[in-house]
Structure 1
Amino acid sequence: MKNVLALMLLTASVAATAQTVDVAKSKLGFTFKQEEVPVEGQFKKFTATVSFDAAKPADGKADVSIDLLSVDGGSPDASNELVKPSWFDAAKGPKARFVASNFKALGGGKFQAPGKLTLKGKTLPVIVNFTAKASGASQVLDGTATVNRLQFGVGDGVWKDTDSVADAVVVKFHLQVNP
């Protein structure tokens, strides 16, 4: 009987931490300025696992893998340009990855996830700010992070000129996290 109870408790514990992101109902996008005009894009393919309980944010974890070849830069020309070596160099490194843990509560349903982004062979710290709201049995996480593209070598050569393309890129996400 003891073993059955221990197995039930272990199963309940795993179920509480294993949360999947419904990518069909989620979105991962970005905004940057080109010659002071906001340009929006998105990644059509990504995977994510999230373990988050608003009552215990310090136990929070996230692992997001982004298919750089799935980039939609807002036009076919922009999408084709972004996968080239001077931008994402997606042929050499087709994935970007964000891993975070030890989330922090900021109050009012707002949270912060400190993590590391690996892109184009460089891994640097990135802070993600997000909100969490219940949606039936699921949670909806909406948030942003500002990434300085030049720190990752994104936009080499003539594209280093921040008068043409701003250094700051705002990454935006909407994740539906299912139990």
Structure 2
Amino acid sequence: MKQFLIPAAALIALTGGTVLIAQAPMSAPGTKDVAKVTGGAYTVEPTHTQIVFAYDHMGFTNNMGVIAQPTGTLTLDKANPAASKVSIDIPVANLKTGIPALDEHLMKPDFFDAAKFPKATFVSTSVKPDGKTGAEITGNLTIKGITKPVTLDAEFYGAGANPMNKKENIGFVATGAIKRSDFGMAMAVPVVGDAVELKIIAAFVK
């Protein structure tokens, strides 16, 4: 397998005709060491947070899409993780499947009805720690004005100081599943699967 190597001094900025070379870190600044995690208030880092969804299409394929750049907050209580809270706003218009005609259809009343309901929300109601790095997060998911309880299995991914802005960052991966018919999107069920698998890549900055 061919490897592409990036030199350590890879960050070059041109400012007023002056070339500035910044030394890149020799290793990834994020670590899976939970001791590096600090409690407090965080906000979603939208450029590295994605909600990936997958569904069965007629029994032939398992198709996927992504919703990028959500916003929201995390209150992390390290001493008492069960007291932690998370709230996410999901911009429906940012949904992409890579198929423009499908994206357009998903915005219509058959599915998300984005003109009337431009965002979905998730607000946690309980957090149950699972081992040293996991948690079961239950919350209220609202899509098209319909609210249903949803449980996500979350796993700590990494934490540390971002060398670009010196701020503390923390990341998680969460998985779960919902039925789209529960949220007023039953078109073509069961020919197209009702169950929608979710994978949330969540980044937060302190």
- With the length of structure 1 as denominator, give the TM-score of the two structures: 0.83
- State percent identity of aligned pairs: 30
- The equivalent residue for 2:41 is 18
Matched AA of 2:137: A
SS of the residue corresponding to residue 193 of structure 2 reads coil
Matched AA of 2:135: F
The question of whether the paired residues in 1 share the 8 Å contact of 2:47 and 2:69 is answered with no
- Pairwise CA distance, 1:135: 2.3
Give yes or no for the alignment of 1:168 onto 2:195. yes
Give the distance between the partners of 2:143 and 2:133, measured in 1 at CA: 29
Matched AA of 1:59: A
The question of whether the paired residues in 2 share the 8 Å contact of 1:138 and 1:178 is answered with yes
Give yes or no for the alignment of 1:45 onto 2:76. no
Structure 1, gaps ≥5 residues long = 1-14
- The equivalent residue for 2:155 is 131
Give the distance between the partners of 1:67 and 1:134, measured in 2 at CA: 25
Counterpart of 2:146 (choices 117, 122, 133) is 122
- The equivalent residue for 2:32 is none
Give the distance between the partners of 1:155 and 1:16, measured in 2 at CA: 41
- The equivalent residue for 1:8 is none
- The equivalent residue for 1:4 is none
Matched AA of 2:171: V
Give the distance between the partners of 1:155 and 1:74, measured in 2 at CA: 22
The question of whether the paired residues in 2 share the 8 Å contact of 1:50 and 1:177 is answered with yes
Number of equivalent positions: 161
- Pairwise CA distance, 1:108: 4.5
Counterpart of 1:68 (choices 92, 97, 101) is 92
Structure 2, gaps ≥5 residues long = 1-37, 161-167
Give the distance between the partners of 2:92 and 2:101, measured in 1 at CA: 15
The higher radius of gyration belongs to 2
The question of whether the paired residues in 2 share the 8 Å contact of 1:40 and 1:74 is answered with no
- Pairwise CA distance, 1:63: 0.8
- Pairwise CA distance, 1:174: 0.9
CA displacement, residues 93-133 of structure 1 (integer Å, 9 cap, x when unaligned): 11111100331111151111110011112111000111013
- Pairwise CA distance, 1:55: 4.5
* CA-atom RMSD in angstroms: 1.7
SS of the residue corresponding to residue 103 of structure 1 reads strand
Give the distance between the partners of 2:124 and 2:103, measured in 1 at CA: 28
- Pairwise CA distance, 1:134: 3.1
Give yes or no for the alignment of 1:56 onto 2:80. yes
- The equivalent residue for 1:100 is 124
Q: Which runs of 4+ in 1 moved over 3 A?
A: none
SS of the residue corresponding to residue 87 of structure 1 reads coil
